[in-house]
Amino acid sequence: MLRIIRGAVDKMFDLAKQLIAIPSVTGSEREVGDFLAAQLAARGYRVDKQEVEHGRFNLIGFRVRPRVVFCTHIDTVPPVLPLREDDRFLYGRGACDTKGIIAAMLEAGDALRKEGIEEFGYLLVVGEETDGAGAKAANTLRWDSQFVIVGEPTGNKLARAQKGTFMADLKVQGRAAHSGYPEAGVSAIEGLWRVLTDCLNTDWGADALLGKGTFNIGVFNGGERCNIIPARAAASIMIRTIQPRANAEEKMRRIIDGRATMDVIGGADPQIMHIVDGFETTVVSFGSDVPYLGNLGKPLLIGPGSILDAHTANEKVAKDELVEGAALYERLARKLLA
């Protein structure tokens, strides 16, 4: 087990707080990336920066060729939330998604190296919260690793599986008219709403392991003023799928049936993860970088914190969970390297 003493706990909490205090909304990860590069170097790791696009880079840290890779993301969703803490929790943007996780992973690495175990490394990526650009770029590199431990807030349980995703923008073009004479126009809002209502009423499938597929209207807008029949309407939708992404796209096109245009934004198939005896397990409905990291080895998904706190105005992570998470990461790596 992880021999985590008070000084190590304080060091881990201090690192988590420093990370939370650095804004890193997707697209602006450079400052936190530079900070983490220095942290890894100070711990004696060789650090490589993989450019993803100008001013944005992944971090790769290792001492010897890794068989196990600890991987998580350094970007967050907006808006930035200030750091604060009390006796039980750290609060702020990224507290559980995933800056606390980074601190726990680095603490686990410190413990492993004290026992002479060095066949692990770190991959810290940009862009997870939007398009997975960092993970996709990392996957193009040559890896000889056997396992990749992806950090997301799972309540410190190994995820057996995660749902897939399908994201698209829908648009309807109507014809503007004076609202006193609606028969002279065609309401784009009403047209799009009929399409979306059909989507909401559709059965998106069920699976014994993954549960039910779900449909969400994340953004809806249209029209100009209340006295004008709206000539345009648009919506952004996301389906949490239990079937391959292609099935969801095909079903969407059948539902739309020419009544709207659909621009596919992205998505991924459902994922089945590697599990290890002796760890609690769960199934998650959220997405992660797991679908984009196939070249790094068998995927495992685990981390401290609750996904129900992520992306909220009160994002937090329990200090006890961070301590437990560091111990779990250390124990998990040991088993995988045995």
Q: What is the mean pLDDT of residues 262-274?
A: 97
- Residue 78: per-residue pLDDT: 97
* Catalytic residue selected from 29, 128, 315, 321: 128
**Model pTM score:** 0.92
What does the alpha-carbon distance between residue 336 and residue 78 come to, in Å, rounded to a whole number? 35
115 is annotated as an active-site residue: no
Q: Does residue 94 sit in helix, strand or coil?
A: coil
- The pLDDT > 70 percentage for the chain reads 98
Whether pLDDT at 1 is above 90:
no
Query: DSSP of 185-210, one letter per residue?
Result: SB-HHHHHHHHHHHHHTS---EETTT
Q: What is the mean pLDDT of residues 4-31?
A: 92
- Residue 8: per-residue pLDDT: 86
What does the alpha-carbon distance between residue 320 and residue 17 come to, in Å, rounded to a whole number? 15
Whether pLDDT at 5 is above 80:
no
What is the pLDDT confidence band of residue 327, given thresholds at 50, 70 and 90? very high
What does the alpha-carbon distance between residue 331 and residue 249 come to, in Å, rounded to a whole number? 40
Q: Which residues pair with 95 in a beta bridge?
A: none
| Inter-CA distances, 309 with 98, 131, 170, 180, 229, Å | 11, 21, 29, 47, 40
